[in-house]
Amino acid sequence: MNYDLVVKNGTIVTAMTSYKADIGIIDGKISAIGRGLAGKEVLDATDRLVTPGAIDTHVHLEMPIGNFVSSDDFYEGTKAAAFGGTTSIIDFVESRKEQSFLDALEERKSKAAGKAVIDYGFHMTIGPDDIRKLDQVQAAYEAGCRSFKIYMAYGLRLTDGEILKAFEAIGETGALPVVHAENWDVITTLIEKNISEGNTGPEWHTRSRPSLMEAEAVGRVIDLAAYAGVPVHIFHISCPEAAERVRQARIQGHYVSGETCPQYLCLTDEVFEAEGIEGALPICSPPIRSIIDQLGLWEHLSGDSFHTISSDHCPFTKEEKASGLSAFNRVPGGVPSIEMRFPAIFSRGVREGFITENQWVDLCCTMPARLFGLENKGDIQVGKDADLVIFDPGKEVVLSEETLHETAGWTPYKNMTMTGWPETTISRGQIIIGNGECTAEKGRGKYLA
């Protein structure tokens, strides 16, 4: 058999095991795994790891928030993702008040089509104005939204009763509810108090969002899901107290899963000590917490509290961030992590001994695909899409706005050294990143239904 492309002599790393073999690709699919495979094109992966393409199930590309739009569009954002070894993303749809879920999905799909260089799907957001659209949940599910986003914070937050109604509608389809869990009432009370006492600096962002109030909301929404009889996935857990709620619920047999993000695993609240705008740039929610919290999250990662690591990529430029410099609660929230996520979890997690290389692949590739119904993605098996990363475990990259391909013009990870970086990224059998160049044509990415 002569394959279109063969990845030779690499160490294949899956969620289950690691072994040396060649991978043969035909028509964009993994067609054989074995020894001595020959192909029209051959990539030598000697001394390299070969992983499934990473999947980032939580990104916000060209997302309008208030007066701003997050700074990477579907081209720049997916290109940066590909440089970091990510071959599929799931972004979000928010419908306007008078707009149907399906129209909103089409509008969002048309933004990504023609731009995305990797494959993309969408979570459908259910905000307070959408409670009367719950009869459209089935149609959105059939159109490819396998997950529905619910907020317990911000203007899009639902009351507990509305969450119950939404869960019941989602439950009928078999889709997965995903939740931003924070106790909004307590947070807004603390923000008001701190601002009125003149405590406006960025460190007060974290102090206004205590760990216990994140954990309270996580516990509450798990109870609501258990009552409604639906599974639930908790987004961006930032503290061990919240992770513990997931762990406990799973011991009790609830179908709960957890996500955390690189910003909580690689940064600490020391970032807020920088002068001026630099100290305000890393504001995101839930907030970046202490080193004790960070180490607690790493400890939970070796257990059963976390199932995905996503970026929650939602960057704004320095100028946009500076518009809110007068007080922490006016700074648009979000950081760029779409490119460094996969290598960072290897560098910080695997190399420093918190998790195994198989857990790394499970958290960043395999479980995301399984939880969100991406059947052809996330694993190296015959018949799956040939989404692969040839990963150089020894390559050192110093993160900065020059080495990364994101467009925000800053990174909270500046001057951090990562050991281990993707050398080649392959999407459906096509080399899209190689020799430090992006060779993907704009718009080659496909919608994942």
Q: Can you give the binding site for Zn ion, defined by CB under 5 A?
A: 312
- Report d(CA 357, CA 40) in Å as an integer: 31
Sign of the torsion angle spanned by Cα atoms 352, 358, 362, 364: positive
Query: Do you know the residue count of the chain?
Result: 449
Is the preceding omega at residue 315 within 30 degrees of 0, hence cis? no
The CA distance from 193 to 184, in Å, is 14
Nearer to Zn ion, 202 or 334 (CB): 334
Least distance to Zn ion from the beta carbon of 336, Å?
13
Residue nearest Zn ion (C-beta atom): 312
**Taking Cα atoms as reference points, which of 323, 330, 362, 329 lies closest to residue 346?**
362
Q: What distance in Å separates the CA atoms of residue 288 and residue 80, rounded to the nearest whole number?
A: 23
Select 92 or 391, whichever has its Cβ closest to Zn ion: 92
Q: How far is the CB of 314 from Zn ion (least distance, A)?
A: 6
CB of 62 vs Zn ion, minimal distance in Å: 14
**Minimal distance, residue 124 CB to Zn ion, in Å:** 14
Report the distance separating Cα 74 and Cα 414, nearest Å.
24
Q: How far is the CB of 312 from Zn ion (least distance, A)?
A: 4
Between 48 and 60, whose beta carbon lies closer to Zn ion? 60
Nearer to Zn ion (CB atom), residue 214 or residue 312: 312
234 forms bridges with which residues in the sheet?
179, 258
Distance CA(216)–CA(345), nearest Å, equals 27
Least separation in angstroms between residue 431's CB and Zn ion is 30
Q: Residue 226 or residue 338: which is nearer to Zn ion going by CB?
A: 338
Residue number, 243 or 261, with CB nearest to Zn ion = 261
What gap in Å lies between CA 26 and CA 31, rounded to an integer?
6
Rounded distance, CA 217 to CA 211, Å? 10
How many contiguous H segments (helices) and E segments (strands) does the chain have?
A: 15, 19
> Nearest distance from residue 235's CB to Zn ion, in Å?
6
94/312 with CB nearer Zn ion = 312
Shortest Cβ 391–Zn ion spacing (Å): 26
Phi, psi of 55 (to 5 degrees): -125, 125
Q: Which residues contact 402 (CB under 8 A, 6 or more apart)?
A: none
Helices 240-251 and 291-301: crossing angle in degrees, nearest 10, is 30
Q: Which is nearer to Zn ion, 183 or 376 (CB)?
A: 183
